[in-house]
C-alpha cells in the first residue's frame, strides 16, 4: 500500500487564461482533501533490483520524502488512436513499487484529460502536437499514488480552456491536486511539516520563468507560510542536443525557453528548498546549491506512442529527495528507469541514467559536482 501522509491541500490564487481572440476563463482552485487509493502494489523489497526501495531504516520524524518523475503522456486519442488495450499497462507493477514510500509523489502531466473534440493547435503545421487522453485515466494515476501533477507546460492547453478545466476537474475528482496555475501557491502538510509548491513555465498564462520579480514574490510568500518550498519549472531547449545545462538563455524553434540555471538559483536564493525541472525530454545534471537540490530535468517518464525514446530521450528516473524540516537535503537517490520502444517505463538494471547523470554533473559543475554512487545514491555534503 502506498505510504502517503500528504494532508489537506490548499490552493491560493485566481487562475486566468487567455485563449485565441481574447477568450478567457477563470477558475478558483478549491480547497481539497486528497483521497488515497487502497489499490495493492508490489512491495518494493520484493522487486528485482540491487538495492531495496525504500531502504530498511527508520526515517526521522522531522524529514519528508519527495519522489518526482518527469514528463507524463499516457497515450492519445487525437488526432489518431494511440492508446493501450488496458490502461494499467502504462505503468507496470514493478515500477509502481519504487514510487511507494513518498510523502509527496509528483509528476509533470503533459496531456489533457477531456473529451472536448477541438484542439487549440493548428495540426496542419509540421512539428505541432496535441495530446488528449481519456478522463478515466485519472484513476490510473490515483491508483499509482500520485499526489500532485504540474500543469504549467506547453501541452496542458492543447484543447483550450475547456480541455484544461476538464483536466483539472478529473484529476481533482480522484484526489490529485494540480500545480502551476497563475499566482497559485499549493499548500500541504507532509509528515506534519508545512509544505508549499509553486509551478513555473515559459508562458504568461501560467507563472512565468521570465518574470523573476513575480516569481520571487511568490516564493517569499510561500516561505512565510511553510517550512519547505518546492518549485517546479518547465524550461530549457528540448532533445538530445539539450543534454547539457548552461548559464544562458535557451531557445527552441525560436522560442525563448529561459535560463534554467539563473531561474533555479534565484528561487533558491529567495527561499525555495527544492527545484524540479521538466521540459527538455532528456535528463540533465543535478546540483546541490547552498544545501538545496536542483534537478534541472528529469526527462520523460511515460510517453506511450507519443514521445521519442531514442538515445537519451529513453533515459529516465524516479528522483527521491529527503529534506529536513528546514528544507535541507539530507538524503536522496536516482532510481534509474528506461522507456521501452512504446514509451512505457521500466526499471533499468543497467543503471544507464545513473551513469549519464554522473557524466553530466562532471561536465556542468566540474568544481562542485554532486556525487552519485554506483547505486544511484546521492552523497550529501555540506555545501553552504
DSSP codes, 256-285: E---HHHHHHHHHHHT-SEEEEESSSSB--
Res 84 pLDDT > 90: yes
* C-alpha cell read off for 10: 490548499
Q: Cα(39)–Cα(162) distance, rounded to whole angstroms? A: 31
Res 50 pLDDT > 90: no
Res 114 pLDDT > 60: yes
Mean pLDDT of 55-77: 81
| pLDDT tens by residue, 193-217 | 999 999 999 998 999 999 999 999 9
Residue 147 CA neighbour count, 13 Å, CB half: 29
Which position has the higher pLDDT, 352 or 35? 352
* C-alpha cell read off for 248: 544562458
Res 324 pLDDT > 60: yes
Query: What is the extent of the structural domain holding 186?
Result: 10-379
Q: What is the pLDDT of residue 213?
A: 98
Percent of the chain with pLDDT over 90: 75
Q: Is 54 left (phi over 0), alpha (psi -120 to 50) or beta?
A: beta
In a domain, 159, yes or no: yes
Q: Cα(321)–Cα(104) distance, rounded to whole angstroms? A: 10
Q: What is the pLDDT of residue 382?
A: 58
In a domain, 3, yes or no: no
Q: Are 12 and 187 in contact (CB under 8 A)?
A: yes
- Rounded to the nearest integer, the mean pLDDT of the chain is 86
In a domain, 1, yes or no: no
Is residue 32 packed enough to be buried (19+ CB in 10 Å), middle (13-18) or exposed (0-12)? Answer: middle
pTM of the model: 0.84
Percent of the chain with pLDDT over 70: 83
* C-alpha cell read off for 94: 514493478
Instruction: Give the domain CATH number at 198.
Output: 3.60.21.10
Res 182 pLDDT > 80: yes
In a domain, 249, yes or no: yes
* C-alpha cell read off for 31: 480547497
In a domain, 2, yes or no: no
| pLDDT tens by residue, 231-240 | 999 999 999 9
Q: Which helix (H) or strand (E) holds 138?
A: helix 137-144
Mean pLDDT of 324-337: 96
Order across the sheet with 185-190: list the strands: 10-12, 185-190, 193-200, 228-234, 274-278, 292-295, 286-289
Q: Are 266 and 247 in contact (CB under 8 A)?
A: no
Res 177 pLDDT > 80: yes
* C-alpha cell read off for 92: 507496470
Q: Cα(300)–Cα(312) distance, rounded to whole angstroms? A: 10
Mean pLDDT of 48-74: 68
Mean pLDDT of 337-366: 97
Q: What is the pLDDT of residue 372?
A: 95
In a domain, 189, yes or no: yes
Mean pLDDT of 161-180: 96
| pLDDT tens by residue, 1-48 | 333 434 434 444 433 433 333 333 333 332 333 333 333 333 343 343
Which segment of 153-162, 179-188, 266-275, 317-326 scores lowest on mean pLDDT?
153-162
In a domain, 212, yes or no: yes
* Structural domains counted in the chain: 1
Count helices and strands (H / E) in the chain: 6, 21
Q: Are 256 and 249 in contact (CB under 8 A)?
A: yes
Buried b (16+ CB within 10 A) or exposed e, 321-349: bbbbbebbbebbbbbbbbbeeebbbebbe
The dihedral through the CA atoms of 140, 144, 145, 148 has a sign that is: negative
Q: CA 198, 204, 205 angle in degrees (round to 5)?
A: 80
In a domain, 4, yes or no: no
Q: What is the pLDDT of residue 125?
A: 75
Task: Work out the angle between the directed axes of helices 260-270 and 212-225 (0-180°, nearest 10).
Answer: 30
* C-alpha cell read off for 302: 511515460
Mean pLDDT of 255-275: 97
Amino acid at each position: 500500500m502506498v505510504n502517503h501522509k500528504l494532508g489537506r491541500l490548499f490552493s491560493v490564487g485566481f487562475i486566468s487564461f487567455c485563449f485565441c481572440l481574447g477568450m478567457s476563463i477563470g477558475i478558483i482552485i478549491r480547497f481539497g482533501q486528497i483521497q488515497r487509493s487502497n489499490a495493492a502494489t508490489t512491495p518494493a523489497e520484493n522487486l528485482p533490483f540491487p538495492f531495496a526501495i525504500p531502504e530498511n531504516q527508520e526515517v526521522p520524524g522531522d524529514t519528508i520524502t519527495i519522489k518526482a518523475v518527469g514528463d507524463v503522456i499516457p497515450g492519445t486519442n487525437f488526432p489518431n488512436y494511440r492508446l493501450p488495450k488496458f490502461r494499467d499497462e502504462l505503468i507496470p507493477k514493478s515500477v509502481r513499487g519504487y514510487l511507494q514510500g513518498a510523502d509527496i509523489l509528483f509528476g509533470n502531466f503533459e496531456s489533457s484529460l477531456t473529451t472536448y473534440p477541438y484542439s487549440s493547435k493548428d495540426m496542419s503545421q509540421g512539428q505541432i502536437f496535441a495530446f488528449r487522453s481519456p478522463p478515466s485515466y485519472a484513476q490510473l494515476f490515483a491508483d499509482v499514488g500520485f499526489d500532485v501533477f504540474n500543469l504549467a507546460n506547453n501541452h496542458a492547453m492543447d484543447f483550450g480552456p475547456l480541455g484544461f478545466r476538464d483536466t483539472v476537474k478529473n484529476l481533482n475528482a480522484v484526489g490529485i491536486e494540480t500545480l502551476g496555475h497563475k499566482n497559485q501557491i499549493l499548500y500541504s502538510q507532509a509528515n506534519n511539516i508545512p509544505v508549499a509548491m509553486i509551478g513555473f513555465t515559459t508562458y504568461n498564462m501560467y507563472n512565468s520563468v521570465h518574470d523573476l520579480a513575480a516569481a520571487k514574490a511568490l516564493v517569499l510568500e510561500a516561505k512565510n507560510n511553510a517550512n519547505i518550498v518546492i518549485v517546479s519549472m518547465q524550461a530549457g531547449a528540448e532533445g538530445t542536443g539539450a543534454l547539457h545545462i548552461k548559464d544562458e538563455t535557451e531557445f527552441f524553434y525560436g522560442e525563448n525557453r529561459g535560463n534554467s540555471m539563473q531561474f533555479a538559483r534565484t528561487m533558491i536564493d529567495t527561499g525555495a528548498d527544492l527545484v524540479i525541472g521538466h521540459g527538455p525530454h532528456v535528463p540533465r545534471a543535478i546540483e546541490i546549491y547552498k544545501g538545496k537540490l536542483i534537478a534541472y530535468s528529469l526527462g520523460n517518464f511515460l510517453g506511450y506512442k507519443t514521445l521519442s525514446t531514442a538515445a537519451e530521450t529513453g533515459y529516465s528516473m524516479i528522483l527521491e529527495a529527503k529534506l529536513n524540516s528546514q528544507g535541507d537535503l539530507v538524503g536522496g537517490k536516482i532510481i534509474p528507469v528506461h522507456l521501452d520502444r512504446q514509451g512505457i517505463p521500466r526499471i533499468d538494471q543497467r543503471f544507464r541514467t545513473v551513469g549519464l547523470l554522473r557524466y553530466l554533473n562532471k561536465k556542468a559543475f566540474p568544481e562542485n559536482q554532486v556525487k552519485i554512487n554506483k547505486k544511484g545514491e546521492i552523497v550529501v555534503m555540506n555545501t553552504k
